[in-house]
């Protein structure tokens, strides 16, 4: 993969929500070029603790006028709206775009799987977690972040994460998606993801 300095990425994060089963939660995608040039914003709604995020987000990307320009899809972890899991392998397959899921703390798979036991379609959820692959780490701007990827190599994912981050370790598109979603839902944004 040719990774230019002005690579266009889309970063997704959800807005604040009350953990009420069936509640619809705003998910925002921010398209950035060259770390800081805002090219567009996409949004959709997903359901708390459901499994509709993968389909809703891939549909949003595939139907966007920005689709042809996008090079990489970034997520703040594997879940939005509580435990609405994003299948990064399916997102890659359905969009044809590489995917990277990023977290500031090392995911504890055992604890995560235990939390999923109380939800419907447990086996399907475990499969999504397993299909996400190994958890890798990288230091960016003197901070360690953790990531899983689909459709690219680990080295390519590292290069993209370095190019997509400005001051902190979390890619700027994810940080902006977090701020925008919070501002829309609460009327004012809160800190970074």
Please report whether residue 189 resides in a domain.
no
Identify the pLDDT of residue 34. 67
190 occurs within a structural domain: no
Q: What is the DSSP string of 9-72?
A: EEEEEEPP----TT-EEEEEEEEEETTTEEEEEEEEEEETTSS-HHHHHHHHHHTSTTGGG--E
| Domain count for the chain | 1
Whether 16 maps to a domain, the answer reads: yes
Instruction: Let me know if 34 is exposed, middle or buried by CB neighbors in 10 A (0-12, 13-18, 19+).
Output: middle
- Give tens-digit pLDDT for 101-143: 999 999 888 888 888 998 999 999 999 999 999 999 999 999 9
Report helix, strand and coil shares of the chain as percent, to nearest 5: 35, 30, 40
Q: What is the CATH number of the domain that holds 156?
A: 3.30.2170.10
Q: What is the pLDDT of residue 181?
A: 96
pLDDT of residue 187: 87
Q: Which run of H or E residues covers position 185?
A: helix 172-186
Domain membership flag for residue 79: yes
Residue 193 has pLDDT above 60, yes or no: no
At residue 20, the pLDDT reads 86
Residue 192 maps to a domain: no
Please state, in angstroms and rounded to a whole number, the distance separating the CA atoms of residues 116 and 127: 11
pLDDT of residue 192: 58
| Residue 55 tokens, joined | 């389909």
Closest listed residue to residue 5, CA positions, set 32, 43, 41? 32
Q: pTM of the predicted model, to two decimals?
A: 0.95
pLDDT value at residue 110 = 87
Q: In which domain, by residue range, is 139 found?
A: 8-184
Question: pLDDT per residue over 39-79, tens digit each?
Answer: 999 999 999 999 999 999 999 999 999 999 999 999 999 99
On average, the pLDDT of the chain sits at 93
């Amino acid at each position: 993969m040719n990774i230019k300095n002005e690579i266009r990425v889309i970063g997704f994060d959800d807005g604040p929500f009350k953990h009420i089963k069936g509640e619809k939660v705003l998910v925002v995608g921010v398209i950035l070029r060259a770390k800081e040039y805002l090219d567009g914003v996409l949004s959709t709604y997903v359901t708390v603790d459901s499994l509709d995020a993968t389909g809703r987000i891939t549909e949003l990307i595939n139907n966007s006028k920005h689709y042809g320009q996008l090079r990489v899809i970034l997520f703040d972890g594997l879940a939005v709206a509580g435990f609405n899991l994003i299948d990064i392998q399916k997102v890659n397959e359905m969009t044809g775009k590489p995917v990277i899921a990023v977290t500031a703390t090392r995911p504890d798979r055992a604890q995560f799987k235990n939390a999923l036991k109380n939800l419907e379609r447990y086996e399907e959820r475990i499969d999504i977690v397993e299909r996400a692959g190994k958890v890798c780490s990288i230091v960016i701007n003197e901070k360690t972040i953790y990531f899983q990827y689909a459709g690219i190599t680990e080295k390519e994912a590292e290069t993209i994460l370095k190019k997509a981050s400005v001051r902190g370790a979390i890619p700027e598109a994810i940080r902006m998606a977090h701020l925008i979603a919070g501002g829309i839902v609460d009327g004012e944004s809160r800190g970074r993801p």
